[in-house]
Amino acid sequence: MPEGQASDNAYLRIDVMGKSPKSWAELRAKLLSSLYKLIDDISEGQGCSWFEARAAEFSRAILDYAKAKLARPGIENEKTLAEVGDLYAERERKLAETRRIHAQADAQELETELKRLTIALKMTKVMLVGDPGDEAMLFGRQIDGLLAAVDQVRGESKPQTPGQLE
């Protein structure tokens, strides 16, 4: 693994929210319901009972705890993080530019974006965990690996009985 690059089994956690907190508070649930529908469509026929069982088990609070334990230390992360941030900012800039030139119909836009997201996620596993209002989304084939690690971290945090210590 080159210096400054994340290893293959690393995960990038990105917390996103709307630019306007007020709109975000109003639309977060709507966005998630669109995503739920999308995930349902994607996972249809994929035999996702294992995921459903795991999703019920993991709350965002547990993932937050795992974040504290698994956060990779050191400045070498910065390259990866900066790269993602720059690329996202660039796409948003281009979009803003395009928007100025072509106005699009909202309904059509929604359809198109759902299709694009579907294509982007079709080959991955997608999972939503957490309670309503506190959800997190997991993308990737190795979700089970991540959850196993989170589970292990969580297990370590539990107090051990004298028998377990021996």
Q: Which of residues 83-142 bind other proteins (CB under 8 A)?
A: 83-85, 87-88, 90-92, 95, 106, 109-110, 113-114, 116-117, 120-121, 124, 133-142
Radius of gyration of the chain (CA): 19
Characterize the bridge pairing of strands 126-129 and 136-139. Answer: antiparallel
C-alpha distances out from residue 124 to 39, 47, 67, 134, Å: 11, 14, 22, 23
Q: Which of 43, 59, 65, 149 binds other proteins (CB under 8 A)?
A: 149
Q: How far apart are CA 166 and CA 160, in angstroms?
A: 10
Residue 10: both structure tokens together = 């690393």
Q: How far apart are CA 124 and CA 141, in angstroms?
A: 5
| Count of residues in contact with other proteins, rule CB under 8 A | 77
Distance in Å, CB of 2 to other proteins, minimum: 13
For residue 141, give the 3-state DSSP assignment.
coil
Q: Which of 36, 37, 57, 152 binds other proteins (CB under 8 A)?
A: 152
Q: Could you say which residues in the range 17-76 bind other proteins, by CB under 8 A? A: 17-32, 34-35, 60, 63, 66-67, 69-72
Q: Which is nearer to other proteins, 56 or 123 (CB)?
A: 123
Distance in Å, CB of 51 to other proteins, minimum: 14
Residue 101: both structure tokens together = 């030139």
Distance in Å, CB of 81 to other proteins, minimum: 5
Distance in Å, CB of 44 to other proteins, minimum: 19
Contact (CB, 8 A) for 55 and 130: no
Distance in Å, CB of 45 to other proteins, minimum: 20
